[in-house]
Amino acid sequence: MTDFSPKNHFQPINLFEYEQLAKKHLSQMAVDYYSSGAWDEVTLRDNRAAFERVKLRPRMLVDVSDRNLTTSILGQPLQLPLLIAPMAFQCLAHPQGEVATAQAAALAGVGMILSTMATKSIEEVASVAHQSNAVQWFQLYIHKDRGLTRTLVERAYAAGYKALCLTVDAPVLGQRERDKRNEFALPPGLHLANIATISKLDISHEQGESGLFTYFAQQLNPAVTWRDLEWLQSICPLPLVLKGILRGDDALHAVEYGAKAIVVSNHGGRQLDSAIASLDALAEIVAAVDSRIEVLMDGGIRRGTDILKALAIGAKAVLIGRPVLWGLAVGGQVGVSHIISLLQDELNVAMSLSGCTQLQDIDFSLVKSVNI
Amino acid sequence: MTDFSPKNHFQPINLFEYEQLAKKHLSQMAVDYYSSGAWDEVTLRDNRAAFERVKLRPRMLVDVSDRNLTTSILGQPLQLPLLIAPMAFQCLAHPQGEVATAQAAALAGVGMILSTMATKSIEEVASVAHQSNAVQWFQLYIHKDRGLTRTLVERAYAAGYKALCLTVDAPVLGQRERDKRNEFALPPGLHLANIATISKLDISHEQGESGLFTYFAQQLNPAVTWRDLEWLQSICPLPLVLKGILRGDDALHAVEYGAKAIVVSNHGGRQLDSAIASLDALAEIVAAVDSRIEVLMDGGIRRGTDILKALAIGAKAVLIGRPVLWGLAVGGQVGVSHIISLLQDELNVAMSLSGCTQLQDIDFSLVKSVNI
Amino acid sequence: MTDFSPKNHFQPINLFEYEQLAKKHLSQMAVDYYSSGAWDEVTLRDNRAAFERVKLRPRMLVDVSDRNLTTSILGQPLQLPLLIAPMAFQCLAHPQGEVATAQAAALAGVGMILSTMATKSIEEVASVAHQSNAVQWFQLYIHKDRGLTRTLVERAYAAGYKALCLTVDAPVLGQRERDKRNEFALPPGLHLANIATISKLDISHEQGESGLFTYFAQQLNPAVTWRDLEWLQSICPLPLVLKGILRGDDALHAVEYGAKAIVVSNHGGRQLDSAIASLDALAEIVAAVDSRIEVLMDGGIRRGTDILKALAIGAKAVLIGRPVLWGLAVGGQVGVSHIISLLQDELNVAMSLSGCTQLQDIDFSLVKSVNI
Amino acid sequence: MTDFSPKNHFQPINLFEYEQLAKKHLSQMAVDYYSSGAWDEVTLRDNRAAFERVKLRPRMLVDVSDRNLTTSILGQPLQLPLLIAPMAFQCLAHPQGEVATAQAAALAGVGMILSTMATKSIEEVASVAHQSNAVQWFQLYIHKDRGLTRTLVERAYAAGYKALCLTVDAPVLGQRERDKRNEFALPPGLHLANIATISKLDISHEQGESGLFTYFAQQLNPAVTWRDLEWLQSICPLPLVLKGILRGDDALHAVEYGAKAIVVSNHGGRQLDSAIASLDALAEIVAAVDSRIEVLMDGGIRRGTDILKALAIGAKAVLIGRPVLWGLAVGGQVGVSHIISLLQDELNVAMSLSGCTQLQDIDFSLVKSVNI
Ligand SMILES: Cc1cc2nc3c(=O)[nH]c(=O)nc-3n(C[C@H](O)[C@H](O)[C@H](O)COP(=O)(O)O)c2cc1C
Ligand SMILES: Cc1cc2nc3c(=O)[nH]c(=O)nc-3n(C[C@H](O)[C@H](O)[C@H](O)COP(=O)(O)O)c2cc1C
Ligand SMILES: Cc1cc2nc3c(=O)[nH]c(=O)nc-3n(C[C@H](O)[C@H](O)[C@H](O)COP(=O)(O)O)c2cc1C
Ligand SMILES: Cc1cc2nc3c(=O)[nH]c(=O)nc-3n(C[C@H](O)[C@H](O)[C@H](O)COP(=O)(O)O)c2cc1C
């Protein structure tokens, strides 16, 4: 376990260093599963490159002695415009898995979205929030088995999750070739904590294929359409968030079909390779939505300046994915807390240096796209 | 011979891995002949780079439980919008050469175009199709010897080929410097299977030059013009396809002179180096043709997403070249079948992830060009 | 000490070679402090890349037998359109530190801006100018302690500095991760020569953080706004120069609030990482200012052609930062003099080759931006 | 000496291979002098990159059985749209130096431009042409010593040179840092063959500087302006060619002041570093000149396709520089002849593959600029 006292010179000081260090704490199968993107990983790389193509135009001589980084999403308060993206199998990184993540999120006052594919159960994770009034959402994959799906949704609602985040970019799983090579499966002792109690389903070993790919092909429902959102809304009063939108017209559909927020996302480059970088899709979607619902984004956020750029282009908040896993692997809840506080510090400094004292000050004029 | 059972961990899982593996199965002369492009190989590389410059804008929440990848070209049905490009000397890769390729194509229900420069004869390859009703076209190089040319055309027609694919980008052969260095010639036992029965012509060894370059310079007719298409059409009732068009005005000529389809192609970067990437030429040509005839394209197709992009820009189907040779080298017909099925799987997944259930759903709005 | 006689083959012949050589003369902590940029050093690199994106369109057949490189800034004459940027802690590079720099500047007739954070005092540096009538400005960081700030300003005025250069891009310090790792602090014997006489403040060692970062956080005033410029102007009759402007609207504010010049700068990539390259911000600012006040720029100037480009885009003069430190490290005043004379020679040659005999000839038509 | 018989497998087959091989035949000082560009060699590299940014749009189904590569420049016939650029000190590469080059040019029917700084005399080189009716021009550097300049011009005219090519981009020499490091001077036995007979001037060794740089600074006249062209035209009836134009307005001046042709050139990246690539400057200049005089270009021509691109953009012919020196170093006249014939072959093939049978067919529609 990494020593997090300030004396420790080996403690990472940014998210990239966490990534390097985490790889020493993880099995190769876990590293591959966590870090990889689909096919040639073009979108994975482009998610980052898109941030580098955007330059900042800071304002000077603003009184920045106080900065306020708080915001609200769906009416729920956040200390930072940040949520932890839903990510499967967090116990691969640390025995406390999603619980540790939830604790870190609650401590920092950022949101957390629990994956359907979690290795800690809906209820166990929710119990973290009960003490802290933290913002937790439940991420839903709609299974072919409607009963199972309904049960998941009802449990999430009962457990106190504040929104239902439907992932729409995964009617089938993206082909991540390292997982296929590794014949990815959950190691002994880890289970689909939410599903296992309802059915016998699991991510089992399969010859020449990722067990997760096969699970999706067999269990998830590729037939879900906009109309199914009515069904979802009918079985659960929680606000609906659509994760995985990359086009303005789809964002408009989201508004029409009653979603309360969308997450502009390509699933961290893990689904359709060569899909547009999330940041490159953001402006079009912000324009289409025209403030009727809230727009979040994820994919490639690694620095406070990345958050600033996403907000300048119109996101209300951002999600971070992999860095949380690196934090978890390096130090469990403490590692995730540190990841969040690094981003918070960086955003704080970035806002000070840009003349922004509150998130509303972060306007579109702060960014400029350049060809590099 | 590679073990294609699912147990085999060394089996390639994408076309790039096939390329690596194939190089171990081939003589250096064959590797060089197969992989090289003309001069500095700028176009060879740009064919690939062009695909990376195009990003996808997938649609979500479409019912993609069934995907239909079938199409028709010149009224002939294909299971996939895919044909195997005409490529010379396939017996360099595998003793069954073009026959193995034809078998794989027939099994998969994709088209195959047999090269004039084949190492298996028109009739032998055609016999594969007779059992399977496969779509086979004959690719024609017009020789100076009109009699020889006419005989080739008549034999192709008689053997049941469904179209005549005239390659128009090779009035002389492109200069491929590795072939020149190697003094490329067919090894003992291999012959121009189509020509040998008509004349004594062969690809013989020559000092300081590629034997194929010399063959083209001596035997092929660089004087062919649009008017000669009338002659071709007069001697053969098969629909005429022009392969190697890179300009809108030439595409219009093709329409006017009665071609039924064109292949936007730079011959895989093997003819005029620094010619525009095929994908970059496609939109202009699709616009010029304006649906009057069918537009195919080739050059650099290596992933299912590449097919998706080409179709989004307006191609009716695509051709693949080199990957077929890698498949052939690694595993003969089984290897080629695997190559095709990899592309099929990938296109299947890519369509699912883009909200496309049939090829007609793949519209221009799915793509966006970016500067990288 | 490097031998500067013409015989010495190891003497650097351009600024890049100085950088290499200097690294051998400096402690790792000093190298890191001098060379690093904030966070991922994107802006640091982009400052240079921006110059490479601009191409020159030289004029021919102009009589260039005489070149006049002189100009004036704020009415003060310069032999070159060049000033030495304010840089802290120059005694890290050489025992004579800021005094050596001032001597070199005075000898060459270029301007020098003394940093608030200097390791030689305002008065000691000023004494260099008294003999030479050199152009010296004082760079101000406004401390929370207004008394201290006022004392600094009054001393600068009394000592004969010709302008007050207020750095506006550092309400907090940029996060330079190498300094954080190194726990940057001034080595024994070095002090804040200007501050030490007024207060006990110093850059002391701190666990897990750059001592300079902490100094800024604790001592500098992040609440300074445009209105505070009135206060500054009220306590000091010197012309006010604002350093660190990157937007046209801020440049307009500068005009309105009475600044006499601005320096387009991102602090050498040391403050807000991924801020726009200075050169990329220049044209917009020149247009906004519309000749009402003088526009300088810094960031990445390493060649005479860089000066030419900045002037062509509309700067009246440029500042150089790090190269001066390299010169200082390699050879004290002689090294700095050599750095300046290399740039002078290069600008001289560049003007000759561009058809410019005086700085006014360097017009906007000399440059062309290209995408690379 | 390289074996040029067709048996020799080590014989270079393109100009890049010549460059590699030549370096083994030359002293380091000569390699450096020949290959280097000014300062950071940005323009040197960009001259090549500019060609790679331009793509070809070939025409198909044109009868290309006969190609005619002949053209005329200033009314003088050329077998190829090619001239050998004026280059100093060719005896550094081969004892026969400029004479060997002239022989190769004459044999191939391409033009040759003899440098003022030749190591073979005006008369000796001219005698090659007398037997062959070759096109030879004399390149002039105007010295401060008008008498010397006049003598050079008169000798060139008397010797039968067909044009006077005034180099206008070198009022001072560009700073080539490798030459400065090497303290470049002519080795014993080599002299300024044209100047030596008139004056004592030579390129002598100098401490810490290129002897050639010093020669230019001391001897060449930086005061030459457009008006001096009248003087030149008054002392010599030869048509005047201006070499080194990079702007449309300068090209217009050239027309007005009576030049008969211009060479768009940045002196192979050896004068003003970061000057625009010649190819990037060409279109603007062709438009400005509007066919009133002939436009040539040089810089980075290494392939037949490069010639095609330059002609498509509007050049009447191109000059090649360094490749000739590589040919000379490798094989004297035979090497230069081979270089020319390689380019001729390549242009021949490139025209065939583009549907061009004569140079007039090479129109602007053949090229397309792309961002890479
Ligand atoms: C290991 C891993 C597992 C993931 N699992 C899920 C998931 O179960 N549900 C989901 O909607 N997204 C999932 N995602 C996608 C993330 O929610 C998020 O969109 C993405 O990671 C953001 O990009 P980033 O990792 O570059 O920050 C997963 C991502 C990773 C890296
Ligand atoms: C080894 C090889 C041989 C080829 N032979 C022919 C041929 O005989 N006739 C023809 O029209 N094209 C020929 N081609 C070009 C292909 O038909 C096709 O245009 C190209 O390979 C497509 O690019 P790709 O290899 O990147 O998929 C050949 C290509 C290769 C690689
Ligand atoms: C080591 C170092 C110390 C600096 N200290 C100061 C300072 O005290 N005050 C200030 O306004 N700028 C400071 N700067 C920024 C410079 O004034 C200048 O903006 C920058 O160095 C210009 O970029 P260049 O180094 O690429 O030439 C410093 C820069 C460096 C490299
Ligand atoms: C070694 C060398 C010497 C040169 N000498 C002269 C010269 O004496 N006069 C002149 O006008 N240009 C001179 N040039 C420039 C060439 O004429 C020509 O513009 C340039 O080499 C073209 O670029 P390339 O080398 O990329 O083909 C010289 C170039 C080289 C490489």
A229-281 tens-digit pLDDT: 999 999 999 999 999 999 999 999 999 999 999 999 999 999 999 999 999 99
The verdict on whether residue B181 carries a ligand-binding annotation is no
Q: What is the DSSP string of B177-232?
A: HHHHHHT--PPTT---TTTTTTSS------TTS-HHHHHHHHHB-TT--TTHHHHH
B86 labelled ligand-binding = yes
Q: Which atom of ligand 1 is nearest to the CA of A243?
A: 11
Share of chain D above pLDDT 70, in %: 97
What single-letter amino acid sits at C16?
Answer: F
D173, HSE (Cβ side, Cα atoms, 13 Å): 23
Report d(CA B8, CA B3) in Å as an integer. Answer: 6
Q: Catalytic residues of C, which ones?
A: 267
Which ligand approaches the C-alpha of residue D176 most closely? 4
Determine the atom of ligand 4 nearest the C-alpha atom of D299: 23
**How far apart (Å, rounded) are the C-alpha atoms in residues A196 and A175?**
25
Instruction: Quote the percentage of chain C above a pLDDT of 70.
Output: 97
Return the residue matching tokens 């616009």.
B287
Q: Would the pLDDT of D3 be above 80?
A: no
Query: Which amino acid does the sequence have at D309?
Result: K
Q: In a mutagenesis test of the A interface, which of C32, C36, C39 is the best target, namely the one with the most A β-carbons within 10 Å? A: C39
Return the pLDDT at C370.
64
Q: How many CB atoms lie within 10 A of CB B342?
A: 21
The Cα of D293 is separated from the nearest Cα of chain C by a number of Å equal to 18
Q: Whose CA is nearest to atom 4 of ligand 3?
A: C87
Sequence letter at residue D33:
Y
Chains A, B: CB contacts under 8 A, how many? Answer: 102
pLDDT band at A3, cuts 50/70/90?
low
**Cα B308 to ligand 1 centre (Å):** 24
Q: In chain B, which residues have their Cβ closer than 8 Å to the Cβ of A273? A: 303, 305
Task: Provide the 8-state DSSP code for A85.
Answer: P
Task: Evaluate if residue B9 carries a pLDDT over 80.
Answer: no
* Residue B115 known to bind ligand: yes
CB contact under 8 A, C174 and A349: yes
Q: Which of A141, A215, A267 to mutate to test the pocket of ligand 1 (most atoms within 8 A of CB)?
A: A267
Residues 6+ positions from C347 with CB-CB distance below 8 Å? C69, C80, C304, C307, C308
Q: Is D362 helix (H, G, I), strand (E, B) or coil?
A: coil
Distance CA B141, CA B168 (A): 8
d(CA A30, CA A88): 11
Task: Enumerate the β-bridge partners of residue C139.
Answer: C165
Cα(C278) to ligand 3 centroid in Å equals 13
Q: Are D97 and D120 in contact (CB under 8 A)?
A: yes
Which band of pLDDT confidence, cut at 50, 70 and 90, is reported for residue B1?
very low
Query: Taking a C-beta distance cutoff of 8 angstroms, is the pair B137, B159 a contact?
Result: no
- Cα torsion for D264, D269, D273, D275, to the nearest 10°? 20
CA distance B43 to chain A (A): 21
Q: Which C positions 120-159 lie with beta carbon below 8 A of chain A?
A: none
Long-range contacts of residues A252-258, Cβ cutoff 8 Å, at least 24 apart? A252/A288, A252/A289, A253/A226, A253/B61, A254/A289, A254/A293, A255/A289, A255/A292, A255/A293, A257/A226, A257/A229, A257/A230, A258/A229, A258/A230, A258/A233
Find the C154 Cα to ligand 3 centroid distance in Å: 23
Task: Show residues of chain A in contact with B65, CB under 8 Å.
Answer: 221-223
Alpha-carbon torsion (A122, A123, A124, A126), positive or negative: positive
Residues of C in contact with D40 (CB under 8 A): 303
The reply, when asked if residue B215 is annotated as ligand binding, is no
Residues D86-106 have pLDDT tens digits of 999 999 999 999 999 999 999
Task: Specify the pLDDT at position A67.
Answer: 97
Q: Give which of A46, A13, A8 is closest to A327, Cα–Cα.
A: A13
Q: In whole angstroms, what is the distance from residue D357 CA to residue C193 CA? A: 78
D49 at the B interface (CB within 8 A)?
no
> How many beta-carbon pairs under 8 angstroms link C with D?
103
Whole-number Å distance between alpha carbons of A37 and A43: 8
Q: Looking at B341-345, C194-198, D14-18, which range is the least confident one? A: C194-198
Rounded distance, CA C110 to CA C112, Å? 7
Ligand number, closest to the Cα atom of C83: 3
Residue B251 to chain A, least CA–CA distance (Å): 29
**Residue A6 confidence (pLDDT):** 45
Q: Probe ligand 3: pick from C18, C122, C267, max atoms within 8 Å of CB? A: C267
Say if ligand 3 is within 6 A of residue C314 CB.
Answer: no
Q: Write the pLDDT tens digit of every residue in C215-270.
A: 999 999 999 999 999 999 999 999 999 999 999 999 999 999 999 999 999 999 99
Predicted confidence (pLDDT) at residue D372 exceeds the cutoff of 80: no
Q: Is B37 in the pocket of ligand 2 (CB under 6 A)?
A: no
Give alpha helix (H) positions in C6-136: 15-22, 28-35, 42-53, 97-108, 122-132
Cβ atoms C181, A13 nearer than 8 A:
yes
Which residues of A participate in the annotated binding site for FMN? 86-88, 115, 139, 243, 265, 298-302, 321-322
Full-model pTM? 0.97
**E strand intervals along C195-326:** 240-245, 261-264, 294-298, 317-320
Mean pLDDT across B212-237: 97
Average pLDDT value for residue range A325-342: 98
**Measuring CA to CA, which residue among C347, C305, C299, C288 is closest to residue C55?**
C305
Please, which residues bridge with residue A240 across strands?
A164
Q: Which ligand is nearest to the CA of B116?
A: 2
Which parts of A231-311 are beta strand (E)?
240-245, 261-264, 294-298
Going from the C-alpha of A174 to that of each of A171, A206, A251, A343, the distances in angstroms are: 9, 17, 22, 29
DSSP class of A84: E
The helix/strand/coil state of A20 is helix
Segments of C226-304 assigned E as strands: 240-245, 261-264, 294-298
More confident residue, A236 or A370: A236
Q: Which two tokens stand for residue B25?
A: 């199965």
Q: What is the pLDDT of residue A260?
A: 98
Mean pLDDT, rounded, for B264-287: 98
Q: Give chain B positions within 8 Å (CB) of D6.
A: 207-208
Cα–Cα distance between D229 and A7 in angstroms, integer?
75
The reply to whether B239 sits in an annotated binding site is no
- pLDDT over 50 (residue B245): yes
Q: Is some CB atom of chain D closer than 8 A to the CB atom of C5?
A: no
Question: Closest Cα of chain C to D239: distance in Å?
Answer: 18
- The β-bridge relationship of strands D317-320 and D294-298 is parallel
Residue type, B21: L
pLDDT band for D238, please (50, 70, 90 cuts): very high
Rounded Cα distance, C231 and A164, in Å: 54
* Residue percentage of chain B with pLDDT more than 90: 92
pLDDT at B10: 64
Q: Which tokens in the block code for residue B130?
A: 């007779």
pLDDT given for residue D1 in this prediction? 44
Residue to substitute from C41, C143, C172, C242, interface A, most A β-carbons within 10 A: C172
Q: Which residues of B touch A172 (CB under 8 A)?
A: 64, 349, 352-353
> Residues of A with CB below 8 A from B346's CB?
39, 175
Between A172, A175, A225, which is nearest B61 by CB?
A: A225
Residues touching ligand 1 (Cβ under 6 Å) are A 33-34, 47, 85-88, 115, 117, 139, 167, 243, 265, 267-268, 270, 298-301, 320-322
Q: Which chain C residues are closer than 8 Å to A7 by Cβ?
A: 207-208
Minimal Cα distance from D209: which residue of C? C6
- pLDDT per residue as tens digits for the range C54-94: 999 999 999 999 999 999 999 999 999 999 999 999 999 99
Q: Is C149 helix (H, G, I), strand (E, B) or coil?
A: helix
ipTM: 0.97
Determine the distance in angstroms separating the CA of A275 from the nearest CA of chain B, rounded to an integer: 4
- Does the structure show a pLDDT above 70 at A1? no
- Are D60 and B371 an interchain contact pair (Cβ–Cβ within 8 Å)? no
Model pLDDT, residue C305:
98
Cα–Cα distance, B27 to B41 (Å, whole number): 21
Q: What is the pLDDT of residue A165?
A: 98
Q: Per DSSP, what are the bridge partners of residue A143?
A: A220
The predicted pLDDT at position B4 comes to: 55
Alpha-carbon distance D338 to nearest alpha carbon in chain B (angstroms): 14
Confidence of residue C371 (pLDDT cuts 50, 70, 90): low
Instruction: Please tell me whether residue D240 adopts helix, strand or coil conformation.
Output: strand
**Paired sense of beta strands A294-298 and D261-264, if any:** unpaired
Partner residue opposite A353 with nearest CB, options C174, C177, C280: C174
Query: pLDDT tens-digit profile of C306-364?
Result: 999 999 999 999 999 999 999 999 999 999 999 999 999 999 999 999 999 999 999 99
Q: What would the pLDDT profile of D249-292 be if each residue is shown by its tens digit?
A: 999 999 999 999 999 999 999 999 999 999 999 999 999 999 99
Average pLDDT over residues B298-309: 98
Any atom of ligand 2 within 6 Å of the Cβ of B253: no
Q: Using CB atoms, pick whichever of B39, B242, B245 lies closest to residue D303.
A: B39
| Direct distance between the N- and C-terminal alpha carbons of chain A, in angstroms, rounded to an integer | 40
- Return d(Cα C68, Cα B300) in angstroms, integer: 56
- Comparing CB atoms, the residue among C6, C13, C368 nearest residue D181 is C13
Q: What is the mean pLDDT of residues A315-333?
A: 98
Distance CA B121, CA B151 (A): 13
Strand, coil or helix: what is B331? helix
| CA A18 to the chain's CA centroid | 17
Which of A40, A226, A244 has the CB atom closest to B303's CB atom? A40
Q: What is the DSSP letter of A161?
A: -
From the list D54, D63, D303, which residue is nearest B40 (CB)?
D303
Average pLDDT of the residues in C21-31: 98
User: What pLDDT does C133 receive?
Assistant: 82
Q: How many residues does chain A have?
A: 372
Chosen from C205, C216, C272, C279 to mutate, greatest number of chain A CBs within 10 A: C272
